[in-house]
Amino acid sequence: MYRRQIAIGALAAFAAAALAVSFTTTAVAQKKLTPVRAAYVPVATWLPAWVAKDKGLFEKHGLDVTLTPTQNLSLLPGTVGKQFEFAASTPPDLIKAAAGGLDVVATAGQALETKHNQAMQLIVRKDSGIKGPQDLKGKAIAAPTLGAVMHVATLYWLKKNGVDPNSIRGVEVPFPNMGDQLKAGNVDAVEALVPFTFVLLAQGNVSLGDPMMAVGDEVLFPFWISSGAWARANRPVIKTWIDSLTEAKAWMDANPKETRDILAKYSRLPPAVVQKVPFPTYSFTIKPEQLGVWVDVLNELGQLSAPVDKAKLVVTAP
Amino acid sequence: MRRLFDNLRLLRTSLPPIRGLLPLVLLLVIWQMLQSGPSPYFPAPDQWWMAGLRLFHRNDLIGAFEATTLTFLGGLLLAILIGTAVGILIGVSAFAACALGPLLEFMRAIPPPATVPVFVLLIGYNETMKLTVVTLSALWPILLNTTAAARGIDPLLLDVARSFRLTTWDRIRRIIAPAVIPALLLGIRVALPLAIVVALLVEMLTSLPGIGAMMIRSQRNFQSAEVYALLVLVGLFGFVVNDVFAVIESIILRRWPPRTATTS
Amino acid sequence: MPSRLLPRLNLPGLLTLVIVVLAWELAIRGGSVQYEYLPAPSAIAVGMAELIRSGQLAADTLHTLRSVLLGWTAAMVIGVTLGLWLGSSPLVRRYSLATIEMLRPMPGIAFVPVALLLFGFSLETELMVIILPALWPVLINTMGGVMGIHARLFEVGRTFRLPRGEIIRKLLLPAALPAILVGARISMTLALVLAVVAEMVGNPNGLGYAIVREQQALQPEKMFADVVAIGVLGIVLNSALVSAVAAFFPAASGRLREAG
C-alpha cells in the first residue's frame, strides 16, 4: 500500500539530488603559469593587485591570477583553500576565524594605518556636542561591520579612555549611507574610511580622530589570507605574489595618472572622487607581531572564544 | 463539560503529531555519530546544546528572543489587518483592483533587503522600521489569498444582499466573511514563517537587537555551534507558532467551514 | 482564480503610479526630503538610461532571471512532488509534518556560510539559498490542495478502477491545480527576493550584486535604477505566470468539473 508512496518520495529526493549535482562548475583551463585565484572587495585598498593584473605584472612573475570581487570581507576566511588561494581580510576576521577552528593564516601584507596616513576617522555632527570619547557613553555608533576591524578599534579606543564598550549601541551602516544617517540623527557617530571621510567632513561634520591610533602606530590594517595547508605547501608562490604587488607599487609611484585610471576602472567611483582618493601606506610583508597586537586588543575586549597563538597566524614567503 | 472534551479532541486532531519529528531526530542522531571531533562548519548537535547554554547564560538571549518575537507578532498582525482590508477591497471592486494593482505589484516585487536602507533613512534604527519591513513582506500571501477569495464571491449574492437591504455589517458577516476567512487562514499560514524569516533578515542586515543579529554575530565570530543552536531555537519557535495557529485555525474553521473547491 | 492584477491598458493604475512618482520628485525638488542616498525619480531615470546604454543592466538582469527560473523550477518540481506525496498519504504526513514545520521558518540566509563552504561564491550557493525557502509555499499549497478534495476523488477513482499513478495524474494533480498555482505564484516572488539576497551576500553577480556594487561606487541613482529593474522583473515574471495560467487554466477547470 505504502510502497508506491515511498517510491514517489525516493524519486523526489533523487530529483533534488540530481539537480544539485548537475550544477557543477566548469574546470579552470590549465596553463604553464601557476593559476592563482584571489578575492577582494572593490575599494581602493586593493589597488596594487588591480595594477599588477592590469599591467601583466603577475604573469611576468609566473602567476595566472583571477581576481573576483566579493561583497563582504567577513565571509572570506571560509572560502580560502577551496575557491580562492588568496583573500582580502583584516586582523579581527582572521584571528576570530582561527579561534573558531578554521585553518587560515596571513600570507601577505597590504596596508598599514600610520600617524601620518590615517584612513579611518570617527566622525560626529558639528552640533552634537560630542567632543571626545567620554561624550560617547551610551550613544549609537555606525560601523560598516560590527565585530570587524574598525569597530574593534573604536571599542578599544573607548575602553582605553574609560568608556564602557558595552554601553555603546552599534548598528551596521554601509559607508556610502553614513552621511545621511548622521544627518537624520539616527546615529551619533560614524566609523568612516577614506574617501567617504572627505565627503562627511566637507558636509560640515567633525572628526574625533582615528581610533586605530589607540591600537598603535603603523598598525596592521588589511592584508591577504590563505588556507594554512595551501600556504605551507606553496611558500614560493606567496613570494611571487608579494614580489608582484611590490613591483605594482613601484609602477604606481612612476605612473600616477594611469594608476588613477586603473582605480576608476575597478572601483567604478565617480571621476571627481577617483582623483582625490589618497593611497594607504602599503607594506606587503607580514610578521606575527603585527597580528599579536590585535590578539591582545581582542582579548582585552573579551571577544575571543579560544586562545590564539600569534606565531601560528602567519605563513609567508621564505 | 462535553464542550471541553470536544475542544480537547479538536486540539489533538488539529496539531501535527509529535512523531512527525522522526526524520529530523534521525538526521541529528546520524550527524552526531558521523561528527566526532570539533568542526568549524558542521559541529555535532551536542555542541549546539553547549553553545546554546552559553548564550543563555550570557543573559542576552532572552532579550533578543523577546525583541524578535514582538517584531514578528506586531508585523503579522498589521499584515493581517492591512492584507484583509486591501484584499477584500481589490477583490470586490474592479476599479480598486485597476487603480492599486500595478503599484501593489511593484511594491511586492521589491525585496526587503533593498528596502531596508530606505526605511532606515526615513524611519531610523528602531522597532518601527523593523515592523514596517516585516509587515510589508508578510502582507502579500494574505492579500493574494483574500483577493482571490473575495473575487470568487458570486456578484449575484451581493446583488441579492443589496435588494434585501442588508446592512454593511450583515453583508460582511453573512457573505464576505464566510467566503474570505478560509482563504485568509491559508494566507496567514504562508505568511507566518515569512514574517519570522524577514524579522531575522532585518536584524541581520542592521544588527538591531534580536535573534537575527545574534546569529550574524556568531557567524562572523566563526562560532558555528552557536549559529546552529539559534537555528534550532528559530525552528522550535516556528513550530510552536505554527501549532498555536493550527488550533486557532481549526476553531475558526468550525465556525466558517471552507466551501468546496468546485465553487472557484 | 485567474486573478488579473494587470489588465491591458490600465489607466487608473498608471495614474496611481504617476501620482506616487510625481509626489516623490516634488518632495525632493521642494527640499522637504534631502538625502544623498535618496535620489529623485528623474535622477534614477538618468541612471537607468546609463545602465541600459552600457549593457550592464541587461547582463545583470539576465543573470538574475536565469537564477530565479532555475531555482523556481527546482522548487516547483520538488515541492509539487513532495506535496502530492504528503497530501495523499496520511502515514507519510504523520511522520514528517512536524519536521517540515520545524524547518520552514529557518532563514535561508543563515545557510549562506555553509553554502559558501560547499560551493563558494557561485550560482550553486545562490540556488541553494533560493530553493530551500521557495520550496515551502509550493509544498504546503499542493498538500493542502490534495487534502481538500481527496476523499471523494478517491471514491471516483476506485469506481473507475484507475491505477494509483493514473489517479495522481488524472485526478489529484488537476484537482489540486488551483492551490498549486497559488503556491507557484508566491514561490516565484519569493525566488526573486531570495535571488537578490543571495546575490547581495553570496554570489557576486546579477541585480542583487549590482545594488551593492553601485552603492560602493557612490552611485545611488544607478543603485535605485537596479531596484526599479528588480521591481519590473518581478512584475514581468508574475504577469507571465498569470497569463500562462489563464491560457492553461480552463482545461484544468474543465477536468475538475468532470472529476467532481
| A87 and A126 part of one domain | no
The answer as to whether A130 is a domain residue is: yes
| A64 and A210 part of one domain | no
Backbone angles phi, psi at C219, to 5 degrees: -125, 70
pLDDT of residue A157: 96
| C18 and C76 part of one domain | no
Structural domain containing residue A139: 120-214
Exposed/middle/buried for A112, CB within 10 Å: 0-12, 13-18, 19+?
buried
The answer as to whether C3 is a domain residue is: no
| A210 and A223 part of one domain | no
- Residue C108 corresponds to which cell in the numbers above? 535561508
pLDDT of residue A26: 35
The answer as to whether A101 is a domain residue is: yes
Taking the CA of residue C251 and the nearest CA in chain A, the distance in Å comes to 26
| C17 and C140 part of one domain | no
Domains belonging to chain B, first-starting first, are 58-258 (1.10.3720.10)
Q: How many domains does chain C have?
A: 2
Alpha carbons A54 and A46: distance in angstroms, whole number: 13
| C144 and C56 part of one domain | yes
The answer as to whether C4 is a domain residue is: no
The answer as to whether C101 is a domain residue is: yes
pLDDT of residue B15: 66
Confidence of residue A145 (pLDDT cuts 50, 70, 90): confident
pLDDT of residue B170: 80
Query: Facing residues of A193 across strands?
Result: A120
| C128 and C204 part of one domain | yes
| C17 and C95 part of one domain | no
By the 8 A CB rule, do C52 and C176 touch? Answer: no
- Residue C179 corresponds to which cell in the numbers above? 492551490
The answer as to whether A12 is a domain residue is: no
Q: End-to-end distance of chain A based on CA atoms, in angstroms?
A: 69
Are the beta carbons of A96 and B39 separated by less than 8 Å? Answer: no
DSSP SS3 for C37: coil
Beta-carbon contacts of residue C238 (< 8 Å; ≥ 6 apart): B105, B108, B109, C185, C188, C189
| C28 and C81 part of one domain | no
| A124 and A149 part of one domain | yes
Beta-carbon contacts of residue B165 (< 8 Å; ≥ 6 apart): none
Q: Give contacts of B22 with chain C, Cβ < 8 Å.
A: 95-96, 99
Q: Residue B149: is its pLDDT beyond 70?
A: yes
Average pLDDT over residues B65-82: 95
Average pLDDT over residues C133-161: 79
| A39 and A181 part of one domain | no
| Best to test chain C binding among A1, A5, A186 (most C CBs inside 10 Å) | A5
Average pLDDT over residues C211-231: 86
| C135 and C195 part of one domain | yes
Which of C114, C200, C238 comes nearest B105 by C-beta? Answer: C238
List the beta strands (DSSP E) in chain A: 34-40, 63-69, 86-89, 104-109, 111-113, 120-124, 140-143, 169-172, 189-193, 206-207, 219-220, 223-227, 281-282
Q: Residue B263: is its pLDDT beyond 50?
A: no
Backbone angles phi, psi at B18, to 5 degrees: -60, -30
Confidence of residue C2 (pLDDT cuts 50, 70, 90): very low
| A107 and A229 part of one domain | yes
Which of A170, A177, A305 comes nearest B207 by C-beta? Answer: A170
Residues of chain C with a CB closer than 8 angstroms to some CB in chain A: 35-38, 70, 74, 77-78, 81-82, 84-85, 88-89, 91-92, 112-113, 116-117, 120-124, 127-128, 131, 164-165, 200-202, 204, 209, 212-220
DSSP SS3 for B118: helix
The answer as to whether A28 is a domain residue is: no
| A99 and A138 part of one domain | no
- Domain end point (choices A214, A244, A265): A214
In chain B, how long is the greatest CA-to-CA distance?
76
Are the beta carbons of A145 and B220 separated by less than 8 Å? Answer: yes
pLDDT of residue C80: 94
Average pLDDT over residues C53-59: 93
For the stretch A190-200, pLDDT in tens is 999 988 898 89
| A103 and A126 part of one domain | no
Pairing status of strand A34-40 against strand A86-89: parallel
Q: Residue A89: is its pLDDT beyond 90?
A: yes
| A55 and A193 part of one domain | no
| C101 and C217 part of one domain | yes
Nearest to C96, CA basis, from C105, C85, C107, C106:
C85
- Domain end point (choices A186, A214, A242): A214
| A77 and A129 part of one domain | no
Q: Which percentage of chain B shows pLDDT scores above 70?
A: 89
Q: Which of A212-216, B159-163, B203-207, C137-141 has the lowest mean pLDDT?
A: B159-163
Check if the interface score ipTM surpasses 0.90: no
Structural domain containing residue C74: 41-259
| C19 and C80 part of one domain | no
For the stretch C121-138, pLDDT in tens is 889 889 998 998 899 889
For the stretch A210-250, pLDDT in tens is 999 999 999 999 999 999 999 999 999 999 999 999 999 99
The answer as to whether C130 is a domain residue is: yes
CATH code, C210: 1.10.3720.10
| C106 and C30 part of one domain | no
Q: How many domains does chain A have?
A: 2
Average pLDDT over residues C43-70: 94
Confidence of residue C79 (pLDDT cuts 50, 70, 90): very high
Average pLDDT over residues B71-99: 90
The answer as to whether C1 is a domain residue is: no
For the stretch A264-313, pLDDT in tens is 998 888 888 888 888 999 999 999 999 999 999 999 998 888 889 999 99
| A225 and A107 part of one domain | yes
CATH code, A165: 3.40.190.10
Alpha carbons A187 and A308: distance in angstroms, whole number: 34
- Domain end point (choices A188, A214, A240): A214
Are the beta carbons of A75 and C37 separated by less than 8 Å? Answer: no
Average pLDDT over residues B173-195: 84
Q: Could you count the other beta carbons within 10 Å of the beta carbon of residue A76? A: 27
| C111 and C17 part of one domain | no
| A205 and A223 part of one domain | no
| C49 and C63 part of one domain | yes
Confidence of residue B129 (pLDDT cuts 50, 70, 90): very high
Q: Which of A310-314, C56-60, C114-118, C121-125 has the lowest mean pLDDT?
A: C114-118
pLDDT of residue C259: 26
